[in-house]
Structure 1
């Protein structure tokens, strides 16, 4: 006897792995900015990248919650 609903939907899988990749990038940006001096423009760029990716994760979270509720 096999269950038809045993696998994940492709959209759910895609959102899951997109979250994994984005969260690793967010974490990497916040960790890497510590290697630069406060005056270095690269540090500011990494901080902005961290915030931008964080907002993207938040928006995708809303999308994922909507998809799950449907």
Structure 2
């Protein structure tokens, strides 16, 4: 299940970046996706929600254009 999702605000597929925090209720993971749904992605497992939040923030970086996607 997706707990949090951000995107960089770029709608062109090649420039789009997404960061997700997901959980199955026991395990946590962060996914960074580049290039939209057809692009590349990296997934990192995390031991807790706190560590997943820290990693997601690091992967987003300090860019001001990131927006949280509400479900």
Q: TM-score, normalised by structure 2?
A: 0.32
- The structure with the larger Rg is 1
Counting strand residues as a fraction of each chain, which structure ranks higher? 2
Counting helix residues as a fraction of each chain, which structure ranks higher? 1
